Every structure is written in structure tokens, then in C-alpha cells.
Structure 1
Amino acid sequence: MNAGSTKGQPMIETRPQAKLLALLRDEGPLSRVELGERLELPRTRVAAEVTRLGELGLVEAAGPSASRGGRRSTMVRLGGDLRILGVDVGATSVSVAVTDASCEVLAYTVEDCDVRLGPHVVLGRVAALAEKVREQAPGRLLAAGIGLPGPVSFAEGMAVAPPIMPGWDRFSVRDHLGALLHCPVSVDNDVNAMALGERHAGVARSLDDLVFVKVGTGIGCGIVIEGKVYRGAAGTAGDIGHIRLDDTGPACACGEVGCLEAYFGGAALARDAMALARGGRSPFLGEALAHKEKVTAVDVGRAAEAGDVGAVNLIREGGKRLGQVVASLVSFINPGMVVIGGGVAQQLGHRLLAEVRSVVYRRSLPLATGNLPIVLSELGETAGVIGSAWSGTDRAFSLST
């Protein structure tokens, strides 16, 4: 089955229907009077569109509205049985959630999975996990969204030359996953999905201009401008992990040297932590290494909490480098908020945040930073699946589905 097919899926027939569904998703139940006011449509047209969407099973009555004088209008909400799948593929794990049509998570699961196993294996696991979460929250599946840890052609629904994803280059994720799930699929970069998740359900809720920085196995950035993800001409906007900081720095997975990611991504942090442990320069990490094969960002975070000087210095140096790049973003984009997230950022927490804040506030113009919050992600590991689900609803609630 072609993933772009809508066999078994309700078709959006008019632009007002698409706008009405998005409005109910964004704001919750509204009266017909309120819908008419927001959409600037006459009452008879709203009634006709609501009736048709009801016939398609996309909306339902939600009781009478509060009285505004005269006859009370009927409240309208999205169908309670509608379901969206949100998928977040990381370098070493896969997360899948099923949400309602407003992108509230109903069931969620995550498991270890190496993206280097290739698209057939990884997307097969996605389909299996999707079946698992759907059993916990049954309903009518409208669409799915998936975030991938590499450059993505949003229009084509595929990864393009991703550095850490062998076998994925120009593989049609949208078509393949759509065939497995039997629904339309939206494909985006994982950091863009996280930015959408934070913008619609997290700490940056309703902010129109924000920057989301992910520090995980790799480093990336999602940019939201005027409420929409900015992807750039080829879809690579926000690829800050491969900004070169030093022409003689460490080798990066992209094939270059001295990239930010090569200094402070999860793999780089683990590399430097191993060097400290083996060199006897970190008692805590040395003790951790004595009980397992390798140390990770989790161990670095724990060591820093315990006051281990070596681990604290790793975070400090990495935070300074990250802060330099974020300061440039702040000066260039002037966002309303900077959100720091991703697996490594969650492990290093406020120590990392403090270093980034210190550099940004010192290096960027006071006008840009005077009212600029720089905060940790509120959604944590669910930011990606929520944002992917949101992207899925955009696909479901459009004329071009």
C-alpha cells in the first residue's frame, strides 16, 4: 500500500474543514459560534462543515456552550476515538507513542535499537511497537509522524546523506512506514520534532519564536519562527553539530574535524570520560569503569553530582563550546526562548545549563538576552514523539493528505 494513500482514511474536502480541525486541535472544544468567529465564516457555512466532519467521524458534539444570551450554541470537539502515532528514532533507541487528535499521549514505549541496523529492521521495530501501544489505547488511526536523527527532505519523506545512518540515504521512509501502518506518514528531522513538541505541549508552549537544542548522541537544533519550523532550502537548517570550532580538532562522524559534535556529543563525552577513567584522573569514573566495559554520559552526570573534578570539568568545557554556538544563534535569530534537551542534556542537567547560560548572556547583545529564558526541556524524552504526532496531525488535517 502506498503511504500517501488514504484508503480507509477520511478525506478533508475543503480548506475551512482543515482550518477547523487544526483550531480544535490547538484550542480544544469550541462552540459553533466561536468557530464562526475564529474562521470568519457565516453560521450556515460553519454548520455545514461541522455536519460533514461529523459524518466523516472527525468531530463530535460536546454538549451545550456557556450562555451568551439567547439560545446556547453546541460545543464541538475532535472525535474521541481518533488516534495519531508519534515516533522518535534516535541513534540508539526508538520511542513510539499513541496520542489522541490533540496530541495528548495515551500510551508510550521506548526500547534500545541501533539506527545503524538499517531502515528495514528499525522501521519493522517501529511497526511492532506501534501495535503494542495501540493495544493500550485503541481507536481509529488517522496518521503518523516520525523523527529521524539526520538530515531529512521533508517534502520527499526521506533521510538524505545522514552521517550516522548507513543504509538510510534516500530510503523512502514515508512510503515504507505508511505501508506498514496503513496511514499517511510525515517524516522530519528528530530535533525539529522535539522543537514542535516543546512549542505545543512543553515549556515553550505557544511561543512563536524559539530555538530547541538537542544534546544527545549528536547535537542538533530545531528553529521555530512565527510558529512554524524553519527547515531551510534543503531541509538542513539547524545542523549546528557540524559547525567547525577548530581546524585541528577531533575527527567527527561526518568526515570533518573539529565539529561541535566531535567535542561534546554523547559519543565524544563518553570518549573523554573513558580517557579520564583510564588515566586515573577521575576516581568516580575509574570506579564505574571497573564494574563495566565503558562509561557514558549517565556516569559523567553522576560523577559531577558527587563532586568529581574531572567530570565537572568535562561538563564545563563542553558547556562553554555549546554556549558559543548558541550565543551565535541568539544573536542571529533573536528567539523568545532557548530550550536545551536530549538524552545527554537530561543527564547533565543544570550544570550544563549554567555553563550555556553564562556564555550566552556574556557573548550576546543585551537587547537579545535581556528577557531571554534559557531552560531545560519540560517534556524530556517525550518531546520527540509529541512533536512527531503533531506533524502527523498536520498531514491528516490537510487537503493534500
Structure 2
Amino acid sequence: MRVLDAAFWSPGSSRHALAGPLGFSASKAKALVAGLIDQGLLEEAGTQPSQGGRPAETLRLHHGLGLLLGVDIGVTSLTVAVLRPDLTLLAQHSEDIDVRRQGPGVVLARAAALMRELLARCKGRAEQVLGIGVGVPGPVNFEAGQLVSPPLMPDWDRFSIRDFLRDDYRAPVFVDNDVNLMALGELWRLQRALPNFIVVKIGTGIGCGIVCHGSVYRGATGSAGDVGHISVDHEGPRCHCGNRGCVEAMAAGPAIVRMATEAAEAGESPVLAAALAERGSLAAEDVGSASRAGDAAANRILQHAGHLVGQMLAAVVNFFNPSHVLLGGGITQVGPLFLAAVRQSVYQRSLALSTRQLEVQYAPLGAQGGVVGAGALAMSETLRVRGVAP
């Protein structure tokens, strides 16, 4: 199981490369890998570039082991994917939802229907599913697989997602916060090379996935990383959590749209005013487009929002001292000005030692981060609790 786990977290590795992290001799690793290949658990996937001798064979989890299902539920979006054990994406579908208005029964019924449709498209069957990973936008009791007092979706409190999906699949179901899954996806992409970093999702809300010592840190009750409710202005607007000045209420997607609408209606931005008149409402992407066109009001809005997010992140950076801050979510579509404002605020407000080697950038996996993380959760946890038997 240690070899299979290492092969999963180090896609594209050779026998020799797997031996090092496991502490095995080259001969022992070779023998173990040979046995796993014979059992149909690992397979060779082509040779690597020669380093001066015989080219090494690339190893991966055997595609015949089964399939993974990944479900990424956001506040306003639903993405479902079918993946191979090595997280090769076979099929994916995304659509708009609103978990604030639609209860768990409606959303999960749609997710279940999409899972069946995508499996059929891949010519897969329910009994081939090894594990299912589900991401949800709220605090999660990881052991129970349930949301706990989610502020944006109160109807989901203590709802058993596992029980809902149990009738269709024998495979284990693992549920986690959506930003934790983004962090897990980036950890898999990095092959666990970075042990301490954070992923911040900025969309309808603001949340943070924390990777500490090479593992996702969930906290005592599953609410670690709920940074959207850090106050950046005690006299600011009231947040849906009941407090004032939360960064989520002042700098997330809805706040950016609100500021843009006010600027358009006040005649401060002809570009935003034209977009508002044409469609009747604005989106954060409109602010990004206006900013790229040189609109002064749009630039001011993005800089203000980025400054507030950076102010919050400076406190996190000083406390946790991560090597990287990766920004994801819908905010990545607004362009480089927001990222520049976040960086400026973080570096200005953080301690010099905390930022000496800090990198702040958009998350490389982008919109795929959630489903990749859902697949990583499904495979890694299935290996941990059940092995590889579907």
C-alpha cells in the first residue's frame, strides 16, 4: 500500500524514484513493483528520457483498477468528473446552480444524474467506481462527511451526502470543504514537493485551504481556513455571519459587483454603465474587462478589493509563514491588477522574514482545481481505508 500511495502522489515516477521517499533499497523497490505489476495494480506507461543509461520505465496506478468520481459543488456552480486512478480526466460537465436557494436534495440529485450520464459516456459502470470525492462550500466534519452550520447554505447542515449516494454506489464517499480540495489538487500537482502553502478561493465567498507539513490541515472541528470572516474594517458593512467588516462582505465577488454597479449608476464608468444597460446586471468579469480597457473606476474597485484581501492575507502569512499563496476561484478571471494589489498589500503588511521567499500567484490548476482535488481525495482516502478493491 505504501508503494501504491507513493505511485499515486508521484505520477510519472520510475522504480528508482519511488525507492527514495519510501526508504527502500533499489532491489526491494524493484521486487515490490514487479509484484504489483503482476497483480494488475501498477502498470508501465512508457519510457522516460535517458539519463545516460537504459531509459527508466514510467509507473502509474493501473487504469484497470476502476474509476473515480469527483463532485465540486460551489455556491453558484456544480462540476462533476470521471477520472482514472492516476487522475487522468475522462469526462467532465459544469453548470450553474445556487446552493443558497436549492436544497441538498435538488443539488445532489442533479449531481447523481450527471455522475450516471458521465459514467455511461465513458462506458463505465457503477460497480467499477473505486471512490467518490465531494467538495462543498462550507465547514465539514471530515469523519462524518457532513457540513456543520454552513453560513451560505443552512439547509445543508448535518445532511448526510454519503447516505444520499450510498444506494447507487458501493464505493466510499469522502466529503470535504471545496477549498481544501483545491489545496489537495495543487498538492497532488506538486507531487507533495511544497509542504507548507495555502490556496485561497475568492468567489461568492472567501475561503482558504491550508497545507501543513504535506497534508491538508482541517482543524479541530473542520473549520480551519474560514478566513472570509476575518474583519478588515470594524465599521464596515454587516456580513451574513452577523459581524461587521468581514473581508468576504467587502472584497468577494458580490462586493466587487456591488461597487461596480454603484460606479455605473453614479456615472463614474461609461464602460460599466454600458454593460449594465445592455444586460441589466454586472458580473465580476465585467469589472475585469473594463479594467483591461483602462477604465479608472474598474481599476479603483479591483485595487481596493485586492488591498483588503491582501490585508487579511498578511495576518495569515505572519501567523502561518507559507511558502506560497495560490489564489483561485472566479476572481482569477478579472485579470492581473487584482493580483498585483493583493501582492502589494501582503508584502507591505507582512513581516520581512515571512515574505523573504513568499510567492503570491494564481493557482496553476485554475478551474480544474476542484475536480482534481476531488479525485485526489477519492483515490488517496480509498487507498487509506479500503485498498484498491472496487
- Partner amino acid for 1:227? G
Amino-acid identity (%): 43
Distance 1:65 1:188 in 2: 35
Matches within 5 A, 1:128-167: 128-139=113-124, 140-167=128-155
> How far does residue 376 in structure 1 lie from its aligned partner after superposition?
0.9
1:14 alignment partner in structure 2: none
Distance 1:104 1:49, change over 3 A: closer
1:200 alignment partner in structure 2: 188
2:99 alignment partner in structure 1: 115
Distance 1:331 1:290, change over 3 A: same
1:275 alignment partner in structure 2: 262
Q: Which runs of 5+ in 1 are unaligned?
A: 1-16
Higher RCO by CA contacts (8 Å cutoff, separation 6 or greater)? 1
SS at the partner of 2:335? helix
2:226 alignment partner in structure 1: 239
Distance 2:339 2:28 in 1: 53
Q: Quick check: 2:71–2:374 contact (8 Å CA) kept in 1?
A: yes
Distance 1:394 1:361 in 2: 35
Distance 1:368 1:44 in 2: 41
Distance 1:33 1:296 in 2: 50
> How far does residue 37 in structure 1 lie from its aligned partner after superposition?
6.2
Matches within 5 A, 1:8-87: 17=1, 19-28=2-11, 39-40=22-23, 51=35, 55=39, 57-60=40-43, 77-81=60-64, 82-87=66-71
1:170 alignment partner in structure 2: 158
> How far does residue 309 in structure 1 lie from its aligned partner after superposition?
1.4
**Any idea what the Cα deviations from partners look like across 1:228-285, whole Å, max 9, x if unmatched?**
0111111111101011222321121222221110001112222222222222222111
Distance 2:192 2:381 in 1: 21
1:189 alignment partner in structure 2: 177
Distance 1:74 1:104 in 2: 19
How many residues align structurally?
Answer: 379
> How far does residue 138 in structure 1 lie from its aligned partner after superposition?
4.0
Distance 1:63 1:323, change over 3 A: closer
**Any idea what the Cα deviations from partners look like across 1:204-245, whole Å, max 9, x if unmatched?**
972111011111010011110111011111111110101122
> How far does residue 399 in structure 1 lie from its aligned partner after superposition?
3.4
**Any idea what the Cα deviations from partners look like across 1:362-386, whole Å, max 9, x if unmatched?**
1112222122111112111110110
**Any idea what the Cα deviations from partners look like across 1:180-204, whole Å, max 9, x if unmatched?**
44421111100111111122226x9
Distance 2:57 2:94 in 1: 40
SS at the partner of 1:183? coil
RMSD of aligned Cα (Å):
2.9
Distance 1:235 1:40, change over 3 A: same
Which of 84, 109, 112 lines up with 1:100 in the alignment? 84
Distance 1:309 1:67, change over 3 A: closer
2:346 alignment partner in structure 1: 360
Q: Which runs of 5+ in 2 are unaligned?
A: none
Q: Quick check: 1:83–1:101 contact (8 Å CA) kept in 2?
A: yes
> How far does residue 299 in structure 1 lie from its aligned partner after superposition?
0.9
Distance 1:247 1:195, change over 3 A: same
Distance 1:30 1:92, change over 3 A: closer
2:335 alignment partner in structure 1: 349
Q: Quick check: 1:146–1:388 contact (8 Å CA) kept in 2?
A: yes
**Any idea what the Cα deviations from partners look like across 1:309-330, whole Å, max 9, x if unmatched?**
1111111111111001111111
Q: Quick check: 2:15–2:29 contact (8 Å CA) kept in 1?
A: no
Distance 1:45 1:306 in 2: 57
Q: Quick check: 2:179–2:370 contact (8 Å CA) kept in 1?
A: yes
Distance 1:100 1:308, change over 3 A: same
1:125 alignment partner in structure 2: 110
- Partner amino acid for 2:97? C
**Any idea what the Cα deviations from partners look like across 1:56-79, whole Å, max 9, x if unmatched?**
x533466899999xxx99976412
SS at the partner of 2:274? helix
- Partner amino acid for 1:210? F
1:10 alignment partner in structure 2: none
**Any idea what the Cα deviations from partners look like across 1:105-156, whole Å, max 9, x if unmatched?**
2222101111131111111111122223323434532111111111111111
- Partner amino acid for 1:25? F
TM-score of the aligned structures, taking structure 1 as reference length? 0.86
SS at the partner of 1:367? helix
TM-score of the aligned structures, taking structure 2 as reference length? 0.88
Distance 1:380 1:30, change over 3 A: closer
